[in-house]
């Protein structure tokens, strides 16, 4: 029996729709005799593991090789699975494959031509000499770049890697897998070309200058995972400088999703969001973005807290009232936490009837179970909420309208569209609900025209 040491492998958590599991694929050689695969399944089950996909990958004279996906609650339990399998006669573990790493191997995105290049005639049309005709048309009327190039359907995804997910400042290159993931969602869900842009700078002036210089390549700019407070200045300055939408997803994608969830939960528990006291625990990019959108929606009583005095000052300037955490928990009807600090809110702090959104991943500020035990009328954690519900449709609608910016009314329209698509009994729809993304895009596009930020349509020039 060949045994593989646990320390030889890198294990990581996979978090998917509320399921926290270690997920690994074991490549196992199993003696080709009746009952031996059953012994494998039994061994895995004996220590609490469970089976996923099973795939036959090879035949041998004595052994058949299968890839078996195994789910375990944690690394320790997965180690128990390996040890238990090591006791089974006629079973050899030949490899352990991390399916997350395999999915990322080689990157997740490509740049591909929309034109089949299979003749010299085609080459002459898409490149020299034929392309000169298109260049001259655009030179005469730059607006026609939206008709004859991919600019109108391309979004720059810009990061400096200073606030990657819950990982913090890990740098732009280590953050690239996240940017590729965003690009993959853009393409799959709404047909947008997302282009990651990695900036090796923490200087807001340098970032602003660089993005402004490359902006002609894109129909919109998505600021991603740049830490607060620098992200606020970067977005605001670029929005003023450029005639295309600039949106910081950590602020606005999150805020749209939160507003959609609040609109639904208010129906379930009989609350009126505009009249309720809403408390924000954590005033970083997400917290401030939520604050701005809730105030724009019409919320009149908004309190918040953060350990950072600069964050509290910014919150006060946008219209919120900074107060201590204990006061938030005692006066708020709705509490929204985005601190990244698991266990910050104790169940004894929850007031009966409160709505609690503890959105930090992977460890929420308070678990759903503890919030309910403390008396919350409704509780949600970050595993059920993802800003990918919002940003694909928001950008699709803005690009369709050729909007100069994405304003609050467009974001509110997006939140209402998301809310309307939630299945009965659910707070939010699935990220993979493509009809929802289409409805969000339509609502955003329509609102862009209604609010006067959409560009007038440019008629194509006839080719001569």
Indicate which residues carry an active-site annotation: 127, 182
Please name which of 321, 342, 318 lies closest in space to residue 332, comparing C-alpha atoms: 321
Write down the residue that tokens 């409704």 correspond to: 378
- The answer for 353, left when phi > 0, alpha when psi is -120 to 50, beta otherwise, is left
Contact 441, 396 (CB under 8 A): yes
Q: How far, CA to CA in Å, does 55 sit from each of 29, 52, 70?
A: 12, 10, 12
- Alpha-carbon distances of 99 from 10, 14, 76, 103, 130, rounded to whole Å: 12, 10, 19, 6, 46
Q: What's the rounded Cα separation, in Å, for the pair 129 and 120?
A: 12
Residues 6+ apart with CB under 8 A from 247: 220, 221, 222, 223, 235, 253, 391, 394, 395, 406
CA pair distance 88, 46, nearest whole angstrom = 12
User: How far is 382 from 361, CA to CA, in rounded Å?
Assistant: 6
Residues 51, 69: Cα–Cα separation, whole Å: 6
CB–CB of 39/104 below 8 Å?
no
Cis peptide before 80 (omega within 30 of 0): no
Instruction: Give me the phi and psi of 198, to 5 degrees please.
Output: -100, 125
**For the chain, the helix, strand and coil percentages under 3-state DSSP, each to the nearest 5:** 45, 20, 35
Q: Residue 412 and residue 431: Cα distance in Å, rounded?
A: 18
CA-wise closest residue to 217 among 151, 158, 157:
151
- How many C-alpha atoms does 365 have within 13 Å on its Cβ side? 22
Cα distance between residue 383 and residue 172, in whole Å: 25
């Amino acid at each position: 029996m060949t045994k593989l040491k646990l320390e030889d492998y890198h294990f990581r958590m996979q978090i998917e729709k509320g399921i926290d599991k270690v997920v690994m694929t074991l490549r196992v050689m199993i003696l080709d005799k009746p009952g031996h695969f059953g012994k494998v399944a039994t061994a895995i089950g004996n220590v609490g593991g469970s089976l996923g996909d099973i795939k036959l990958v090879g035949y041998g004279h004595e052994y058949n090789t299968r890839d078996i996906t195994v789910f375990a609650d944690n690394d320790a339990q997965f180690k128990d699975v390996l040890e238990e399998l090591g006791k089974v006669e006629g079973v050899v573990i030949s490899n352990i494959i991390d399916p997350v790493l395999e999915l990322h191997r080689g990157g997740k995105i490509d740049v591909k031509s929309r034109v089949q290049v299979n003749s010299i005639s085609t080459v002459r049309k898409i490149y020299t000499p034929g392309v000169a005709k298109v260049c001259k048309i655009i030179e005469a009327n730059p607006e026609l770049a939206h008709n004859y190039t991919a600019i109108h359907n391309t979004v720059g995804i810009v990061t400096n890697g200073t606030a990657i997910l819950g990982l913090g400042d890990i740098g732009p290159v280590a953050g690239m897998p996240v940017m590729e993931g965003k690009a993959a969602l853009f393409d799959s869900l709404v047909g947008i070309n997302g282009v990651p842009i990695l900036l090796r700078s923490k200087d807001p002036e340098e970032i602003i200058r660089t993005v402004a210089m490359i902006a002609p390549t894109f129909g919109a700019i998505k600021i991603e995972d740049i830490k607060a407070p620098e992200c606020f200045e970067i977005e605001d300055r670029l929005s003023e400088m450029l005639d295309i939408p600039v949106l910081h997803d950590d602020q606005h994608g999150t805020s749209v999703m939160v507003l959609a969830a609040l609109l639904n939960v208010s129906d379930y528990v009989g609350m009126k969001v505009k009249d309720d006291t809403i408390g924000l625990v954590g005033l970083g990019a997400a917290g401030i973005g939520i604050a701005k959108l809730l105030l724009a929606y019409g919320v009149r009583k908004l309190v918040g807290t953060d350990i950072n005095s600069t964050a509290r000052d910014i919150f006060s300037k946008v219209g919120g009232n900074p107060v201590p955490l204990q006061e938030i928990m005692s006066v708020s009807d709705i509490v929204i936490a985005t601190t990244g600090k698991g266990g910050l809110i104790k169940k004894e702090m929850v007031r009966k009837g409160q709505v609690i959104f503890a959105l930090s991943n992977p460890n929420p500020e308070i678990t759903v179970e503890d919030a309910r035990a403390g008396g919350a009328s409704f509780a949600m954690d970050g595993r059920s909420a993802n800003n990918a519900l919002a940003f694909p449709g928001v950008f699709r609608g803005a690009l369709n309208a050729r909007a100069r910016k994405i304003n609050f009314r467009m974001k509110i329209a997006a939140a209402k569209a998301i809310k309307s698509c939630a299945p009965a009994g659910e707070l939010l729809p699935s990220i993979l609900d493509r009809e929802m993304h289409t409805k969000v895009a339509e609502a955003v596009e329509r609102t862009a025209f209604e609010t006067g930020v959409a560009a007038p349509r440019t008629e194509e020039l006839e080719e001569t």
